[in-house]
Amino acid sequence: MTNLPKDFLWGGAVAAHQVEGAWNVAGKGESIADVLTGGAHGVDRIITTAIEEKYMYPNHEAVDFYHNYKADIALFAELGFKCFRTSIAWSRIFPLGDEAEPNEVGLQFYDDLFDELLKYNIEPVITLSHFEMPNHLVKTYGGWKNRRVIDFFVHYADVVLQRYQHKVKYWMTFNEINNQKSYDVPLFGYTNSGVVFNNEPNPEETMYQVVHHQLVASAKVVALGHAIKADLKIGCMMAIVPLYPYSCHPDDIMLAVEAMHDRYLFSDVHVRGYYPSYAYKEWEQKGFNIDITADDLAVLKAGTVDYIGLSYYMSKTVRAHFEDEETTADFEGTVPNPHVQASDWGWQIDPVGLRYSLNVLYERYQIPLFIVENGFGAVDEIEPDGSVNDQYRIDYLKAHIAEMIKAVTLDGVDLMGYTPWGCIDCVSFGTGEYKKRYGFIYVDKHDDGSGTMKRSKKKSFDWFKEVVASNGAHL
């Protein structure tokens, strides 16, 4: 007995731009994901702004879920999925983003996709914006720097919430809205908001302004969704990478508290409906002047989320006195944690960090949590008989699920479900690689463009099927 709730939402997660392909089919407009080249670990993806012939754009084809979704969903049903998380590609619905009328063919595609899921009793869990806004909004309006983009987003959300209200109960507004807090990483600002902050006179101040526009847009959509149908569950989505103190040195403890403001700022506003005092103090000290109207504050209050969707892949560690250490990216003072191992892409593997994160979030907010991403990106080798023996993925997921179950059964966390990332192999967001695989389902497609797109089951497929069937009792 695991004591997970009977209706626990086991499933899998992807995003439209990472699986669908068909980037210019049936009226779809160019999205920001369509102008990102392929990269690798240590090789940044290039943001080319427009499509240039000399580059490969992995998201154009992705794994062609657009044409294969029926067969893929049949495999999800075989896995026993109770839910499936994906996103709506905004530019299928509004190719440019600023039109008054939606693209009916795009809307029909998601009707068909959701019907196919519901045929197997798989609940769609839908992200409204997962790194794929129409590129026209970036080129013409400057992305989320521009307040008008709030209205374009709310209009898009209104159309899809109205259209799918009887098919989709679980929604999230902005995927990993907090990535852009690392404002000096061009990919994060660009994919969250269509803004490369380092090109701005004051990158950090611009980041806060952009974030404010998104928080207002999110709150408007939450209120709108509830007005359309009161029992829709609309959440936020946070990348939860906890920042531990390196030691019990009081300076390390305090630094970790400060560092965690980078995470909490976003969920504080989403959940409580107002900015935390540390945000105002930081803006005051830095002399930032963020345009926040009285109306905005009322909107934030009126649109608090029903749950927190979160991704969890790794933890990080911060050290106040780090001169002798190699500090890594993200928060200044981030140092390797000597107690955990890292993946081939340098992501520190820390299952206990998941239980820790669920605890701190639930203690802070007391609303339901939903793990909508967790997983192990690895290079998979095909055996001569065609099988993939991904025991390392099973080990990673098993250890994380065990900690998740402790958070529910020992700590009393209210957890809605668990959807491992990239349940079918897809294009990596961070590097644009096919090689960094997460799936239970292998897709024969490679970084040089070769491959048949044929699907096959990895060893982890049968393992996860049994986890779902036993509601987590058999790991």
Dist CA 397 CA 81 (whole Å): 16
Shorter beta-carbon distance to ligand P53: residue 85 or 457: 85
State yes or no: residue 428 binds ligand P53 (CB under 6 A).
yes
Chain position whose Cβ is nearest to ligand P53 = 430
Block residue for tokens 């590609």 = 89
Neighbour-count burial for 169-207, b at 16+ CB within 10 Å, e otherwise:
bbbbbbbbbbbbbbbebbbbbbbbbbbbbeebeeebbbb
Sign of CA dihedral 62, 64, 70, 72: negative
Minimum distance from residue 41 beta carbon to ligand P53 (Å) = 10
Shorter beta-carbon distance to ligand P53: residue 275 or 464: 464
Contacts of 227 (CB under 8 A, 6+ apart): none
- Catalytic machinery residues: 373
Minimum distance from residue 470 beta carbon to ligand P53 (Å) = 27
| CB-CB contact of 357 with 240 (8 Å) | yes
> Count residues contacting ligand P53 (CB under 6 A)?
16
| CB-CB contact of 309 with 172 (8 Å) | yes
Minimum distance from residue 436 beta carbon to ligand P53 (Å) = 5
Dist CA 394 CA 376 (whole Å): 9
Q: Which of residues 358-377 bind ligand P53 (CB under 6 A)?
A: 373, 377
Shorter beta-carbon distance to ligand P53: residue 159 or 340: 340
State yes or no: residue 176 binds ligand P53 (CB under 6 A).
yes
Minimum distance from residue 430 beta carbon to ligand P53 (Å) = 3
DSSP letter string, 88-148? --HHHHSSSS--SS--HHHHHHHHHHHHHHHHTTPEEEEEEESS--BHHHHHHH-GGGSTH
Q: Which stretch binds ligand P53 (CB under 6 A): 73-81, 284-292, 319-327, 424-432?
A: 424-432
Overall residue count recorded for the chain in this entry: 475
State yes or no: residue 59 binds ligand P53 (CB under 6 A).
no
Is beta strand 9-13 parallel, antiparallel or unpaired with respect to 415-418? parallel
Shorter beta-carbon distance to ligand P53: residue 43 or 254: 43
Q: Which of 263, 355, 436, 437 binds ligand P53 (CB under 6 A)?
A: 436
State yes or no: residue 15 binds ligand P53 (CB under 6 A).
yes
State yes or no: residue 116 binds ligand P53 (CB under 6 A).
no
Shorter beta-carbon distance to ligand P53: residue 92 or 436: 436
State yes or no: residue 313 binds ligand P53 (CB under 6 A).
yes
State yes or no: residue 239 binds ligand P53 (CB under 6 A).
yes
Minimum distance from residue 175 beta carbon to ligand P53 (Å) = 5
> Could you tell me the two tokens for 445?
């497609």
| CB-CB contact of 374 with 390 (8 Å) | no
Site for ligand P53, rule CB under 6 A: 15, 18, 175-176, 239, 241, 311, 313, 373, 377, 421, 428-431, 436
